[in-house]
Chain A
Amino acid sequence: MNALEIKNLQKTYKNGVKALKGVDLTVKQGDFFALLGPNGAGKSTVIGIVSSLVNKTAGLVEVFGQNQDTHPADVRMHIGLVPQEFNFNIFEPIGEILINQAGYYGINRREATKRAEIHLKQLDLWDKRYDMAKELSGGMKRRLMIARALMHRPKLLILDEPTAGVDIEIRHSMWQFMKKVNSEGTTIILTTHYLEEAESLCNNIAIIDHGITIEQTQMRTLLDRLHVETFVFYLADPLETLPGCRDFPLRLIDSTTLEADINDKQKLSDLFDILKGCGIRVISMKNKTNRLEQLFMSMTKSEARSG
């Protein structure tokens, strides 16, 4: 069964802006799914419609086989939403925010208190349980929204830029947490502007641009389309001239930094052999750009040209 099925989803706002012109999406149960697109592509509108915060103009939304139009309450019961903007009462203690949220799903206070303790501990917020939400840092507020979304044990968790503005350390701990939640059976849909986040977490991906789905495939399939990657090599000793190398186009960025373009038929080990043969010692290396980022840029640019 699919966790989410969207067909020909359209949304025209009252001011005449057509945010969605016909989005199609299928998210399988148990998937960790990336929903990407440039700013204004329509991602948040899709999420808003699926989570009942935005009225659709046309189209079909089904969550775990239940139609949103005919079974709205059942659909909402399945979904947990972590929105892009903070949307809690900043003057409420965070423990109360979680317990009240569970209450809206019909979970009694005793059970809600137990669940709040579990999630606050999992997300390192237990010590803050009596604090007003306004006293939390940005990262803590993001984690609070994740804890809140999990209170009713949703089968589908929608994360709309959950790590925006969060420092690297906390971001990585949130990644681990999201992986754990996914491994326990919760389907996750993630939107993010950190493409390395989508690349490392998600199995499947859809890209939306100008209100339509321009791609939906497996992450691996998408990345395989990238024919050339640029690597940056940091050298142990300064280099004055480039070694001759016909097969690998090399560029000297500064005396201790080299760049090389490698296509999908070449082996990185061959380049290392050449560098070693020239007496060049490499301390470290990295991808010049994130692979998904390269693809994303080329796909959304080409869509803009054709649009």
Chain B
Amino acid sequence: MNFTQKMVALKTIVIKEYLRFIRIWIQTVLPPAITVALYFIIFGELIGSQIGDIDGYRYMDYIVPGLILMSVITNAYANVVSSFFSAKFHHSVEEMLVSPLPNHIILLGFVSGGLARGIVVGITVTAVSMFFSDFQIYSYSVTIVVFILTSILFALAGFINAAYARSFDDITIIPTFVLTPLTYLGGIFYSIKMLPEFWQNVSLVNPILYMINAFRYGLLGVSDIDLTTAFVIIIGFILALYYFALRLLRIGVGLKP
């Protein structure tokens, strides 16, 4: 395949993936908007009013970055894990496997689908946040770059989960028992400075902490973590997951007997 043909192929997968989640927007885009609104009402209004300011921001404003990024993480992941596993389940992934598509185009196509859902959900949730908070974006460039890199990272993670999954149960185990706890413990609702020193050090092992704090820096200009360290960790994870996912495709893990 020449470059033009590869781009046609990539565009085909991206459009297919985009239409897949947009067709079912009631299941894919609406729920995170409702969930975030509930978080704002319960944690921001009712409980947050008792907490006071963190790093000079109202509690309501402080949790905005974490809540937006939480939606982005879960949706970028969910899009790829469900789409790729469904393609395996229905065997429609064979349409791609018999074609001359290079593995990196297949991977980029699915990841782009996850990125697209991350962007659509992120924008929706940000719009909802504006009803509860009057935050001003501190750095557009940091905000957008962290937003995109985080979507890519979790789209890749979703792809790997789907490659190994053998049943629909297998695609819910990681989000339920790994992703959700790490997200909640990643500093969405608090600054790690509020924790005892021991738990501050334990928190530093959680990669999601770096993403949420980098995103918080972009939106509010405050962070518990050095921005450069956060970028190095995010990009490092992306590269590692990308090559791992590509290797799974090349070997045919979960795809080829």
Contact = CB atoms under 8 A, between A and B. Distances in A.
Interface of A: 13-14, 48, 51-55, 72-74, 76-77, 79, 81, 83, 85-90, 96, 99-101, 103-109, 148, 152
B247 interface: no
B98 interface: yes
B1 A106 contact: yes
Pairs A-B, 6 closest by C-beta atoms: A106-B5, A103-B12, A87-B91, A73-B100, A104-B99, A89-B92
A107 B99 CA distance: 12
B87 interface: yes
B256 A73 contact: no
Given A73-B102, A104-B12, A108-B8, 5 more contacts: A53-B98, A79-B98, A87-B95, A89-B92, A104-B100
A100 B10 CA distance: 11
B97 interface: yes
A77 B5 CA distance: 12
A233 B2 CA distance: 63
Contacts of A81: 98
Given A74-B100, A89-B87, A89-B90, A104 B257 contact: no
B252 interface: yes
A96 B92 CA distance: 13
B92 A87 contact: yes
Contact of A13 (B11, B90, B98, B257): B257
Interface in B72-124: 86-87, 90-92, 94-102
Contacts of A90: 90
A53 B97 CA distance: 7
Contacts of A76: 98-100
A54 B256 CA distance: 5
A54 B2 CA distance: 25
A178 to B, nearest CB: 19
Q: Which of A14, A88, A89 has the most CB of B within 10 A?
A: A89
Contacts of B252: 55
18 contacts: A52-B256, A53-B97, A53-B256, A54-B256, A54-B257, A55-B252, A55-B257, A81-B98, A88-B90, A88-B92, A89-B86, A100-B12, A104-B13, A104-B96, A105-B9, A106-B1, A106-B8, A107-B5
A48 B5 CA distance: 25
Contacts of B166: none
B4 A52 contact: no
A271 to B, nearest CB: 51
B16 interface: yes
B218 to A, nearest CB: 36
B6 interface: yes
Contacts, number: 84
Contacts of A86: 91
Given A106-B1, A106-B4, A106-B5, A100 B102 contact: no
A77 B11 contact: no
A79 B98 CA distance: 8
Given A103-B12, A106-B2, A106-B9, A85 B91 contact: yes
Nearest to A13: B257
A106 B2 CA distance: 8
Contacts of A85: 91
Contacts of B256: 52-55
Contact of B95 (A55, A88, A106): A88
Contacts of B5: 105-107
Contact of B9 (A13, A87, A104): A104
A73 B1 contact: yes
A83 B94 contact: yes
A4 B242 CA distance: 35
Contacts of A77: 1, 100
Nearest to B24: A91
Contacts of A13: 257
A14 B257 contact: yes
Nearest to B7: A106
Nearest to B10: A103
A130 to B, nearest CB: 14
Q: Which of B2, B13, B95 has the most CB of A within 10 A?
A: B95
Contacts of B99: 76, 101, 104-105, 152
A107 B90 CA distance: 24
Contacts of B92: 87-89
B85 to A, nearest CB: 13
A265 to B, nearest CB: 49
Interface in B198-257: 252, 256-257
B216 to A, nearest CB: 39
B251 to A, nearest CB: 8
Given A54-B256, A88-B92, A107-B8, A100 B16 contact: yes
